Structure 1
Amino acid sequence: MNIAIFGAGSTGCYLAGELLMAKLNVSLICRERIKRSIIENQGITLTSYQGLHQKVMPKALITELATNQNIDSNSNLQNKVNPAPLFDVIFVTVKCHQLAAITEQLLQITHSQSSIIFMQNGLGSLDEILPLLTHRHVSQGITPFNVLQQPNATFHKGTEGQFTFASTQHTKAIQQAMRKAQQSECILVDDMAPVIHGKLLLNLNNALNAITDVPIKEQLSQRRTRKLLSLAMKEWLSVCKQAKLPLTQFTKVKPTWLPLILSMPDWLFNLIAKQMLDIDPKARSSMWEDIQAKRQTEIDYLNGAVVNLGRQVNVSTPVNAAITAGIKQLEQGQTVDIDTLF
């Protein structure tokens, strides 16, 4: 398989690293900044809160997609002109709002038997582009853990979890390669819808983490901010119940129990949910990274999606509406006081 990671940032580079550890043929389609960092540091370094430390080099680093493009090869880092490559599998790791702009490029670098696997969180990101990809095998995947980009082309996994993909011929081959290498693992499922819904329950914290501007572990150690997260989760669970949407369980307890556990006093939460705090002390959400970098966030597909779907099924979602409004303020460079937001 000729595999590409399209839009290789934090998650994309970590995914590339795990695939490369499995001896798979992986190229990165990335920004010039990422390419330069990888070349200068002679590869991608993967680290994790569990002690992983591994360096790998992609087959190619691609910064421009055109008829002819510059490719930096692992074996020869001199620029050279090549025809546009065709990939058998493309993992798309760009932000939700960027998908429409790359659809034509995805068609140009794939063939009729190619798999395009979209790794976006939240709801609704594929609605606009799916009709344009009818001659490709399209599926979804998720990253159920936190990845923080660090200096020197280092990407750090700060929380537990494994990449999860829809079960296809290509992803089965990828899973087999990962198991053979015994350095990483992925999960395959037949129906991604419950997985997407269950992941959204956890992703509701992305925005709160950006608003509180503290590491996730510190945020979860404070009942005040846990309570806000529990209320946001309750709203999504109510929407799912009303809309009859199933949710995959990602934690040790059922999704419906999470709000109750998060609302507990600190001493009881620390006792019962100790594993929930077994994360890197420096881990932060990707939305926090976006706000710091002054990038547009995916709030409309996360908390904003809860609000929109709640409106459709007549379920009130004031907490998620307030969180969405807070992120919109941060995107515009304004300050947000969490005490006056709710």
Structure 2
Amino acid sequence: MFENAAASWSTRQGAAVHRTALRVGRAARALLAATALAATTLTAAGQVAEAAPANSVAAVGSSGCHLPAVTSGQSTRHFSAAGRSGTYIQDVPPGTSHPLPLVFDLHGYLELAVLEHEGSGLGPYGDSHGFVTITPQIDEPGWPRWDFSPASADVSYLSQLMSHIEATSCIDLRRVYVAGLSMGAFTTSSLACQLSDRIAAVAPVAGLQNFSWCRTQRPVPVIAFHGTADPLVAYGGGQGANARYLPSPDGGSSSGPQNGPGPTDIPANAAAWAHRNGCPGKPQQRKVTADVVVTSFDCPANATVELYSVLGGGHTWPGHASIVSPTPLVGSTTTSIDATATMWDFFQAHPLTGPVHG
């Protein structure tokens, strides 16, 4: 525009306009730069910077990135630590030349790791969506289970297994996640408390718990799923009516599994996590399908808490019917949402943005 105007003016007038345009351009660029800087930094007055988009958070490779790439595909491996021995199913997608996200998938009470692997579908899903999946199981007498209490040997085992995977595979330390079903969800909740410095986000299915002893080093984003008619871990808190049919860890009769769910209801547990993460105000609800309601909270960008309540749903992984447990025992499974796909979308949106472990 300035050049067209200068062409119809005298040489002196054109030169003056050109100098003015340069000054205006420099001032405009300086103003834009200052505005961008103010929007993306923490000011001396304590103004909070706007969170960077999740996909712009650069990966931090683990020590295993210095080793030859791990062969893609599924394998079962042994691991011992913390006085425990066990195995884990490892699923590695193709293309391991760069740091990959890591998802731990924890089985429920009575459930072998291979059944959790088949039931959640996280391993195959990771193969097609570019993340490593670890499905572990500790070898113990009696039924498969987890001791998720503070500083337990099982928690230490899982922590050291996580370190082992990071040391032997090329893992993105900003994108380490944990999911689990039932007692695996209790353990997922526990790990969110005890390993909050290294787990970016968690996804408990049919068992989100809030522990009175929980103290996190940072807000941990949580996405949870739970059926309102769960007959084993009651949506309203405690054990459901069918928990009495579950055997004790040694195979005998029992009134419920070892270290059962806490007494508070699942929405209260979600609210407690939101409070811990610094989310003010009352939760909001929206219906996403005919039988699924999402409860969300007004949270900081990297402290999100969401609860997917399946109306009439049972003790199952949404979108994936149990392959061994009968419907009369565990209840119905919704197919209107896929918990695996939904939690992966959530995980992708919530990398670890603070200091990394290791």
* Structure ranking higher in helix proportion: 1
Same fold (TM over 0.5): no
TM normalised by structure 1 equals: 0.29
Larger Rg: 2
TM-score normalized by structure 2?
A: 0.28
